[in-house]
């Protein structure tokens, strides 16, 4: 399993998409969330978008590999069915998850999971990236920025860290890590 985690805006989704294009042996694990769908997103592609009640039902039924309430009333988690779906296709799962979710998956699977932390070149650059997205209200953006500082303290708990300063360099580092871990060729 490949676990890619980062604070919001550090580039984990961009790097995961690159890995999926480079390695047909990898399958994307679609997470579930109770947050509002954005204009550019499709249910079942970026996330499974659920109501908070439906998300809590999955929790109660034990149908999530990991989950957390990231912000009040805003849940994120990994359906167990995603790991089963990817394995049934003969692929290795790739998780694009937040920092706590990534560490939880790593704890569950140990050496069977490679946990990669994507780090921004600086907090200031990360703030610029989040502001340039223009997808969040100022209040929501401030919540994300407050969380970023806390999440950055967890990089030491991951197997490896990629500083996403130059995207091409980050792609190359991620490819090498996956190739070495899974003994694959892109």
Domain boundaries, the chain: 2-182
Span 22-48, average pLDDT: 93
Band of residue 85 on the pLDDT scale cut at 50, 70, 90: very high
Contacts of residue 175, defined as CB under 8 A and 6 or more positions apart, other chains included, come to 18, 19, 22, 23, 186
- Identify the residue with better confidence: 73 or 42: 42
Q: Would you state the torsion angle of the CA atoms of residues 150, 151, 153, 156, taken in this order, to the nearest 10 degrees?
A: 170
The stretches of the chain forming alpha helices (DSSP H) are 12-22, 52-60, 80-88, 99-109, 123-133, 138-151, 167-182
- Three-state DSSP class for 128? helix
> How high is the pLDDT of residue 47?
93
- Identify the residue with better confidence: 130 or 91: 91
Position 76 pLDDT exceeds 80: yes
The token pair that represents 68 in the structure block: 């957390």
pLDDT > 90: percent of the chain: 73
Interatomic CA distance for residues 133 and 141, integer angstroms: 10
- Three-state DSSP class for 142? helix
Handedness of CA 49, 78, 68, 181 (dihedral sign): negative
Span 59-64, average pLDDT: 96
Q: CA-based Rg of the chain, rounded to a whole angstrom?
A: 16
> How high is the pLDDT of residue 19?
98
> How high is the pLDDT of residue 174?
98
Interatomic CA distance for residues 182 and 5, integer angstroms: 18
Span 14-32, average pLDDT: 96
CATH class held by domain 2-182: alpha beta
pLDDT digits (tens, 9 = 90+) for 111-153: 999 999 999 988 888 777 777 776 667 777 777 778 888 999 9
Average pLDDT of the chain?
91
- Identify the residue with better confidence: 176 or 121: 176
Position 186 pLDDT exceeds 70: no
Q: How many CB atoms are closer than 10 A to CB 17?
A: 13
Handedness of CA 61, 103, 12, 83 (dihedral sign): negative
């Amino acid at each position: 399993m490949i676990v890619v985690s980062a604070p919001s805006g550090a580039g984990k989704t961009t790097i995961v998409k690159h890995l999926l294009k480079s390695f047909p042996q990898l399958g994307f694990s679609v997470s579930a969330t109770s947050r509002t769908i954005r204009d550019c997103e499709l249910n079942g592609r970026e996330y499974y978008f659920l109501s908070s009640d439906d998300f809590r039902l999955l929790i109660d039924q034990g149908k999530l590999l990991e989950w957390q309430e990231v912000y009040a009333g805003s849940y994120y988690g990994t359906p167990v069915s995603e790991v089963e779906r990817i394995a049934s296709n003969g692929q290795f799962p790739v998780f694009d998850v937040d920092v706590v979710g990534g560490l939880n998956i790593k704890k569950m699977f140990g050496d069977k999971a490679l946990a990669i932390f994507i780090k921004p070149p600086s907090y200031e650059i990360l703030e610029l990236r989040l502001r340039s997205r223009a997808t969040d209200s100022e209040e929501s953006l401030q919540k994300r920025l407050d969380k970023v500082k806390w999440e950055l303290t967890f990089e030491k708990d991951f197997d490896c860290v990629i500083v996403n300063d130059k995207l091409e360099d980050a792609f190359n580092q991620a490819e090498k890590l996956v190739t070495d871990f899974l003994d694959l060729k892109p």
